[in-house]
Amino acid sequence: MYTLFSSRKLLLQTEHNSHQNLISVFGKQPRSVWVLVDGVEQEIPFEQVQIGDIVVVHAGQAIPVDGTIVQGQASIDQRMLTGESQPAERSVNEQVFAATMLLSGNIQVRVEKAGQATVAASIGEILNNTSGFTLTMQARGEKLADQSAPPTLGLFAIAMVTLSVQSALAVLWSSIGYNMRIAAPLSLLNYLQIISQQSVLIKDGRSLESLHKVDTVVFDKTGTLTQEQPHVSQVHPWNGLSADEVLTFAAAAEYKQTHPIARAILQAAREHNLSLPTTDHTRYEIGYGLKVQVAGKTVCIGSDRYMQIEQIALPDEVYELQAQCQDQGYSLVYIAIDSTFVGVIELHPTIRPEARQIIQQLHQRGIATYVISGDQEQPTRRLAHDLGIDHYFANVLPEDKSSMVQQLQAEGRFVCFVGDGINDSIALKQANVSISMRGASTIATDTAQIVMMDGSLSQLIHLFEIAEDFENTMRASIVLSIVPGIVTVGGVFFLQWGILTAIMLYNVGLVATIAAAMLPLIKDYAGAPQLTDSQHTDTTTMLPLSKEHEGVS
């Protein structure tokens, strides 16, 4: 009896420890924090932190809240949330998150979320809920254990009559399939712990079990196969200016902006080593463009509609270029100086550097690929061709994406939908498995079952590999939880085994079941195949601007 309870305790304790290891990483909170009160730092209990407080964080400390930097700059280790291998540089007006580590610098953070409202705490809560899902394989094992109970009692009675009390107790000890009740969630917890360290958050444990059945992956185009930030493909100058001059004025005007188009223009200026003049008196026309004083000149930059608002005439050739770019799915930014049109910047979508290899590896696994987009057919077809994607859907409205997924499912396909989570919510719900690219900051509201916390595709194949390994581990666990019991019953009736042999076999099966469940932690997943550095390289990495403009605030 002691052996029975000890073995059960071991299994339960192992599961409990794995569960705590999984969620505690995201749920840790400091006892106290330093806040700025009337210009003086004061230490207060963490529970007293309120929205709007200014929290002071120094190098070597963990950031305790979600918020926006109001003063200072720092290098921050965000691996816990995003999986980024390199520290992130953050400064004024940029967001920081709890459970990340300040490596260098000092910052003051205006509190936006604290305690259980932070992104880190939300992740911990999601992981806690995820580990509670009953898996199909687990349910199968439990059903078998339940169904084996009446026959076991019957065999117990037969053994009592025909053999001995020792033999009858040995039959009761067989516990066919019982260990699956704990081995399955234990295995799931361990795999969740591993995959969460690879910048992937699984919100529904059943999706990990379903991934190995996926035979079709549907990618949304914008924000999934392409990055949020486009890139400058070409600068078309007019009225005597050079391309570099047009780009210089455009970059100077956009210098203080943070939207993707501004970042793309600034990136191009950095790549051309342009020296930017100072700016002042910026005026915005929301949704259209902005007007900025640059080196004594009035620069207008924005859409063609903004040019019309400012009564700036556009040459006929520009309208021809506009029509061509619209057909190709490209964007144009118009620039005028002192009410005279001087050029247009052509922006192309930036394909994720890892996308091509991901598609190739999916094909190697026998998985069909689709891309779905609201863009015109020509740019969608070209993207599919460039990446080697099998099929494409173009001119698809957001509300129709789920119909496309449903159509594939009607053909007998098991579909995984990968989207940005913004206008894909219906399609994400329709798919058998759903993956979002929105990153860590939106996990609480994201409808997807799986969230790529680093906002990239780099871990997609690794996710499929882990799902396949998880399936193999579950199959091994169910065998290991059943075979010792069957062997015990057979040994009792044919070899006259007693209780000691039954205990020995049971414990062998118990240890083997725990070992199978713990196997993912033993394996070195850190050594799993990764994409090359060049494929991980973010094409939006900002190079430093020349000294002339670095001092402009």
Rounded to an integer, what distance in angstroms lies between the CA atom of residue 362 and that of residue 366? Answer: 7
What three-state secondary structure class fits 464? helix
In which band, very low, low, confident or very high, does the pLDDT at 493 lie, cut at 50, 70 and 90? confident
Rounded to an integer, what distance in angstroms lies between the CA atom of residue 531 and that of residue 476? Answer: 30
In this structure, are 256 and 331 located in the same domain? yes
Q: Answer yes or no: is 387 within a domain.
A: yes
Which of 144-158, 295-309, 517-531 shows the highest mean pLDDT? 295-309
CA atoms within 13 Å, Cβ hemisphere of 181: 13
**420 vs 249 pLDDT, higher one:** 249
What three-state secondary structure class fits 345? strand
Supply the pLDDT for residue 533: 40
Stretch 63-77: mean pLDDT? 88
Helix and strand tally (H, E) in the chain? 19, 20
Q: Answer yes or no: is 320 within a domain.
A: yes
Supply the pLDDT for residue 269: 94
**416 vs 376 pLDDT, higher one:** 416
Supply the pLDDT for residue 336: 96
Query: Domain ends where: 330, 348, 366?
Result: 348
In this structure, are 394 and 328 located in the same domain? no
Q: What is the average pLDDT value for the chain, to the nearest integer?
A: 80
In this structure, are 143 and 131 located in the same domain? yes
The closest alpha carbon to 321, from 334, 311, 339, belongs to 334
Q: Among the residues of 217-293, which ranges form H helices? A: 243-254, 260-271
The closest alpha carbon to 260, from 291, 227, 293, 233, belongs to 227
Give the Cα-Cα-Cα angle 321, 328, 387 (nearest 5 degrees): 145
Classify each residue of 449-470 as buried b or exposed e, where b means 16 or more C-beta atoms within 10 Å of its C-beta.
Answer: bbbbbbbbbbbbbbbbbbbebb
Stretch 40-59: mean pLDDT? 89
Which of 125-129, 153-157, 188-192, 344-348 shows the highest mean pLDDT? 344-348
Which of 391-395, 442-446, 447-451 shows the highest mean pLDDT? 391-395
Q: Answer yes or no: is 331 within a domain.
A: yes
Q: Is it the case that residue 518 has pLDDT exceeding 50?
A: yes
Q: Answer yes or no: is 438 within a domain.
A: no
In this structure, are 24 and 150 located in the same domain? yes
Supply the pLDDT for residue 98: 85
Supply the pLDDT for residue 317: 92
Q: Answer yes or no: is 445 within a domain.
A: no
Instruction: Tell me the C-alpha to C-alpha distance, in Å, between residue 115 and each of 123, 124, 529.
Output: 12, 12, 37
Q: How many domains does the chain have?
A: 4
In which band, very low, low, confident or very high, does the pLDDT at 82 lie, cut at 50, 70 and 90? low
Supply the pLDDT for residue 400: 83
Q: What is the pLDDT of residues 329-378, one digit of tens each?
A: 788 999 999 999 999 999 998 999 999 999 999 999 999 999 998 777 88
At a CB cut-off of 8 Å and minimum separation 6, what does 445 contact?
none
Rounded to an integer, what distance in angstroms lies between the CA atom of residue 249 and that of residue 245? Answer: 6
Domain containing residue 363: CATH number:
3.40.50.1000
Query: Residue 342: which domain range?
Result: 231-348
In this structure, are 127 and 14 located in the same domain? yes
Strand 297-302 relative to strand 331-337: parallel, antiparallel, unpaired? Answer: antiparallel
In which band, very low, low, confident or very high, does the pLDDT at 540 lie, cut at 50, 70 and 90? very low
Supply the pLDDT for residue 136: 57
Please state at what angle helix 180-196 crosses helix 460-495, rounded to 10 degrees: 160
Q: What is the pLDDT of residues 385-399, one digit of tens each?
A: 999 999 999 888 777
In this structure, are 73 and 130 located in the same domain? no
In this structure, are 331 and 239 located in the same domain? yes
Domain containing residue 273: CATH number:
3.40.1110.10
Domain containing residue 98: CATH number:
2.70.150.10
Q: How many C-beta atoms surround the C-beta of residue 245 within 10 A?
A: 16
Q: Answer yes or no: is 443 within a domain.
A: no
In this structure, are 292 and 340 located in the same domain? yes
Query: Domain ends where: 379, 397, 431?
Result: 431
Backbone CA torsion sign across 184, 186, 190, 192: positive
Q: Answer yes or no: is 436 within a domain.
A: no
Q: Answer yes or no: is 439 within a domain.
A: no
In this structure, are 192 and 313 located in the same domain? no
Stretch 252-279: mean pLDDT? 88
Supply the pLDDT for residue 444: 44
Q: Is it the case that residue 10 has pLDDT exceeding 90?
A: no
H/E run at residue 447: none
At a CB cut-off of 8 Å and minimum separation 6, what does 2 contact?
none
Q: Is the pTM of this model over 0.75?
A: no
Q: Is it the case that residue 73 has pLDDT exceeding 80?
A: yes
Amino acid at 15: E
What three-state secondary structure class fits 76? strand
| DSSP structural state of residue 551 | T
In which band, very low, low, confident or very high, does the pLDDT at 81 lie, cut at 50, 70 and 90? low
Span of 19-33, 90-104, 445-459 with lowest mean pLDDT: 19-33
In this structure, are 124 and 174 located in the same domain? yes
Supply the pLDDT for residue 461: 94
Q: What is the pLDDT of residues 160-211, one digit of tens each?
A: 888 888 888 888 777 777 777 777 777 877 888 788 778 788 887 788 888 9
Q: Is it the case that residue 116 has pLDDT exceeding 60?
A: yes
In this structure, are 494 and 380 located in the same domain? no
Supply the pLDDT for residue 3: 45
In which band, very low, low, confident or very high, does the pLDDT at 141 lie, cut at 50, 70 and 90? low
Rounded to an integer, what distance in angstroms lies between the CA atom of residue 289 and that of residue 309? Answer: 10
**466 vs 525 pLDDT, higher one:** 466
Query: Domain ends where: 348, 372, 407?
Result: 348
In this structure, are 359 and 395 located in the same domain? yes
At a CB cut-off of 8 Å and minimum separation 6, what does 511 contact?
none
